[in-house]
């Protein structure tokens, strides 16, 4: 039973018996590596430099799609990276709600993006934007938060708001999230046992997809790299995401003060009203509570709205030019 609770060691990329390293990586101060992918115009020609943070069960190749025309028009360069444990980035078992912000800062410095850069994060990567706003606001030119995961235990949520959002989830996801928060040592076993349903997101249960999400699902057919996402093991990617994302945070985004009191940058928060994966009610309340957040609710969109045709251009143009 003890062995069943213990996750197997991750298969580190580049180690004996581990997956190969196929793309560029940087080495962080603590010795870990982050794999990254660059798109848009050449960095030295860029007027706007963006780092994209991918979501749950994704990797660096799942960056927000910006049309070549817009990239050329506005001089957009995008760097996306594998978050720890995903793709070809080394796992980080000691990861906290704060540590990823400093990984991003180190990535920006290694890529020589300059003193300030833009950030876009989707889903679990959207939740990470709050950490960046708290820990490295002095490095940010602007932030777009897309369909962010919310932690039901963040202080500041009224009981009725968190309760209503909680019951948008399928019962099996309520249990998976509950385990990640209260018994993180059980997360591996819970999500790999066969006695009862575990996380529906991990198992690709279509019940978590809205009608709008189903319409964009065919776009996932191009993900020939999907096998790389979990190649180092599910525990240090998927389960670690859940343990940190739904864990016991030492601070709450709802209690943050404006990170840009002089108007140095703008924070945009986007959410689809038909999102069945990440309840929209949590984002609505954050936007009502934090006057410095510009909220965009899409009435006919689900969780996967950033993948819809043209949405990448809309999101980026809004962030860079203030268009609505």
Distances (CA, A) of 282 to 137, 245, 253, 292, 295: 23, 14, 11, 16, 12
The label of the residue with tokens 């870990």 reads 32
Q: Provide the residue ranges of all domains of the chain, joining segments of one domain with +.
A: 11-168+211-220+251-321
Percent of the chain exceeding pLDDT 70 equals: 99
Least confident of 33-47, 139-153, 203-217, 275-289: 203-217
pLDDT tens digits, one per residue of 223-255: 999 999 999 999 999 999 999 999 999 999 999
Comparing CA positions, the residue from 98, 40, 119, 113 lying closest to residue 72 is 40
What whole-number distance in Å separates Cα of residue 85 and Cα of residue 83?
Answer: 6
Checking if the pLDDT of 318 tops 70, the result is yes
β-pair partners for 33: 27
Answer whether 228's CB lies under 8 Å from 88's CB.
yes
pLDDT tens digits, one per residue of 121-162: 999 999 999 999 999 999 999 999 999 999 999 999 999 999
Residue 219's pLDDT is what? Answer: 87
As a whole number, mean pLDDT of residues 201-224 equals 90
How would you list the strands of the sheet with 267-272, edge to edge?
25-27, 33-40, 76-81, 48-53, 117-122, 140-146, 267-272, 293-298
Of 284 and 217, the one with more pLDDT: 284
Residue 324's pLDDT is what? Answer: 53
Residue 322's pLDDT is what? Answer: 82
Q: Structure tokens of 130?
A: 């709050």
β-pair partners for 78: 39, 50
Of 194 and 46, the one with more pLDDT: 46
What whole-number distance in Å separates Cα of residue 257 and Cα of residue 77?
Answer: 30
The label of the residue with tokens 């009502």 reads 288
Percent of the chain exceeding pLDDT 90 equals: 92
Comparing CA positions, the residue from 279, 276, 299 lying closest to residue 207 is 276
| Confidence tier at 323 by pLDDT (50, 70, 90) | low
Q: Structure tokens of 135?
A: 């820990």
pLDDT tens digits, one per residue of 61-108: 999 999 999 999 999 999 999 999 999 999 999 999 999 999 999 999
Residue 87's pLDDT is what? Answer: 97
Checking if the pLDDT of 304 tops 90, the result is yes
- Degrees, nearest 5: CA angle 222-84-270: 60
What whole-number distance in Å separates Cα of residue 124 and Cα of residue 101?
Answer: 13
Checking if the pLDDT of 1 tops 70, the result is no
User: 243, exposed or middle or buried, with CB in 10 Å at 0-12, 13-18, 19+?
Assistant: buried
Q: pTM (2 decimals)?
A: 0.96
The mean of the pLDDT values for the chain is 95
Q: 288-321 burial by CB neighbour count: b if 16+ within 10 A, else e?
A: eebeebbbbebeebbbbbbbbeebbbbbbbbbbe
| Confidence tier at 214 by pLDDT (50, 70, 90) | very high
Domain 11-168+211-220+251-321 adopts which CATH fold? Rossmann fold (3.40.50)
């Amino acid at each position: 039973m003890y062995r069943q609770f213990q996750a197997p060691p991750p298969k580190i990329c580049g180690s004996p018996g581990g997956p190969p390293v196929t793309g560029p990586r940087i080495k962080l101060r603590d010795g870990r590596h982050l794999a990254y992918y660059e798109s848009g115009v050449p960095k030295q020609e860029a007027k706007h430099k963006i780092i994209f943070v991918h979501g749950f069960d994704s990797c660096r190749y799942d960056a927000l799609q910006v049309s070549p025309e817009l990239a050329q028009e506005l001089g957009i360069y995008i760097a996306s990276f594998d978050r720890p444990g995903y793709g070809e980035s080394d796992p980080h078992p000691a990861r906290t709600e704060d540590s990823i912000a400093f990984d991003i800062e180190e990535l920006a410095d290694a890529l020589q993006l300059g003193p300030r850069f833009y950030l876009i994060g989707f889903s679990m990567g959207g939740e990470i934007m709050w950490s960046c706003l708290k820990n490295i606001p002095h490095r940010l030119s602007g932030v777009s938060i897309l369909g962010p995961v919310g932690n039901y235990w963040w202080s500041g949520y009224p009981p009725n708001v968190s309760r209503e959002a909680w019951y948008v989830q399928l019962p099996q996801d309520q249990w998976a999230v509950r385990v990640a928060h209260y018994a993180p040592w059980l997360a591996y076993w819970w999500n790999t046992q066969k006695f009862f349903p575990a996380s529906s997101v991990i198992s690709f249960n279509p019940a978590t997809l809205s009608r709008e999400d189903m319409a964009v699902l065919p776009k996932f057919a191009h993900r020939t790299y999907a096998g790389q996402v979990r190649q180092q093991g599910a525990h240090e990617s998927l389960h670690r995401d859940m343990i940190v994302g739904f864990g016991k945070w030492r601070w709450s985004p709802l209690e943050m003060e404006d990170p840009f009191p002089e108007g140095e940058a703008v924070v945009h928060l986007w959410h689809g009203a038909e999102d069945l994966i990440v309840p929209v009610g949590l984002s609505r309340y954050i936007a009502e509570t934090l006057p410095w957040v510009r909220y965009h609710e899409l009435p006919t969109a689900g969780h996967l709205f950033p993948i819809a045709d043209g949405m990448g251009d809309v999101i980026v143009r809004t962030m860079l030019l203030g268009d609505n």
